[in-house]
Amino acid sequence: MHGTADRLIQGMAADGHFRVLAAQTTTAVETAREILDLAPVATEALGRSMTGALLLARMLDKDVRNQYVSLRFDGDGPLGTIIAEGTIGGNVRGYVANPVPEDPALDAESAIGNGSLTVIRGTPPEGKPYTSQILLGGSGIATDLTRYLMRSEQIASAVLLGVLNRRDGVASAGGLIIQAFPDTPEEVISMMENRIREAPSLSTLLETMPIEDAVATILEGTNYKQIDDGHAQPVQYACSCTRDRALAPLALLDQSEILEMIDEGGTEVRCQFCGRRYTFSADDLLPLTAEHDS
């Protein structure tokens, strides 16, 4: 399984005191860049968000299928709203409201700005999703997710996220979550904090080595052991849009707007995550007017 394929891996460190989840997401982030036509700063912000969503989803109960985590960043920066959704099965997708901001030199934190992060955990089709919200701290997506985990899960965590852009696209992308178990001694946590602080950049490592070696390098000296490759999960950029899901929002429009589309012979809906286009004829739209009448 080693090589260049995107994947999630798991491990333990410091004699079982820490759980380690890591993801290599280079191809998925490059796919998002191509599909959504993202500027480098938008690629960096969305790439980190997508990797974070995947890692959080992987923390859910693996016996329950279809679970997902959605991260929604509503900031006042030029990128506007950013949405990233990861599933427990390794699918990920994303969206940036303004994929090409005017200032190309912005860093990701400034491009997102101040605002809120909403984390949604769901299990479709049943049950109401669990939603939690925090204010953005302005110090980066990884730091915001660290704060979210401490506040919502009461778990001491370290989150590392990185995207390395090159002239011809995404050179590397990935992330790492290290979580202390409740009985971990303070001195062991301090040791791990020092190790992470001194560690080389994850995205730089991923440009030259697979995720397995990158994590082992970052956690060198902590007795890190990877759980065997059989627990690894392939990752891919994939969209769950369907024709029915594309039609559903049109039913919420005013009747006058629906009638106008019918007069024009139909309409086209484009998925914001994957760019797929769905064409609806006047006959397709006619039943929506009956729903308004009922």
Checking if the pLDDT of 292 tops 70, the result is no
Among 119-128, 224-233, 269-278, the range with the most confident prediction by mean pLDDT is: 269-278
pTM of the predicted model, to two decimals? 0.90
Give me the pLDDT at residue 4, please.
79
Q: Does residue 134 register a pLDDT over 90? A: yes
Do 149 and 49 fall into the same domain?
yes
Q: What is the pLDDT of residues 193-240, one digit of tens each?
A: 999 999 999 999 999 999 999 999 999 999 999 998 777 899 999 998
Cis peptide before 125 (omega within 30 of 0): yes
Which tens digits make up the pLDDT trace of 145-181?
Answer: 999 999 988 888 999 999 999 988 999 999 999 999 9
Distance CA 35, CA 41 (A): 15
Q: Express each pLDDT in 71-92 by its tens digit.
A: 999 999 999 999 999 999 999 9
* CATH number of the CATH domain containing 54: 3.55.30.10
Q: Within this chain, do residues 42 and 186 fall inside the same structural domain, yes or no?
A: yes
- For residue 134, the SS3 value is strand
Give the pLDDT confidence score for residue 229 in this predicted structure.
76
Q: State how beta strands 91-96 and 236-237 pair.
A: parallel
Question: What was the pLDDT predicted at 3?
Answer: 52
At position 56, the amino acid (one-letter code) is L
Note whether residue 88 is domain-resident. yes
Residue 2 lies in a domain: no
Q: ∠ CA(245), CA(44), CA(177), 5° rounding? A: 85
Structure tokens at 167: 């002239």
- Residues of the chain with pLDDT > 90, as a percent, come to 78
Domain span holding position 263: 243-293
pLDDT at 223: 94
Dig out the tokens for 255 from the structure: 């009747």
Determine the average pLDDT of the residues in 43-69: 92
1 lies in some domain: no
- CATH number of the domain residue 256 falls in: 3.90.1280.10
* Residue 145 shares a structural domain with residue 269: no
Strand partners, 91: 236
**CA dist 6 to 2, 199, 234, Å?**
10, 22, 6
Residue with tokens 């997508």: 50
The CA–CA distances, whole Å, from 222 to 94, 156, 190 equal 34, 17, 12
* pLDDT at position 293: 59
**Are residue 265 and residue 172 in the same domain, yes or no?**
no
The total domain count for the chain is: 2
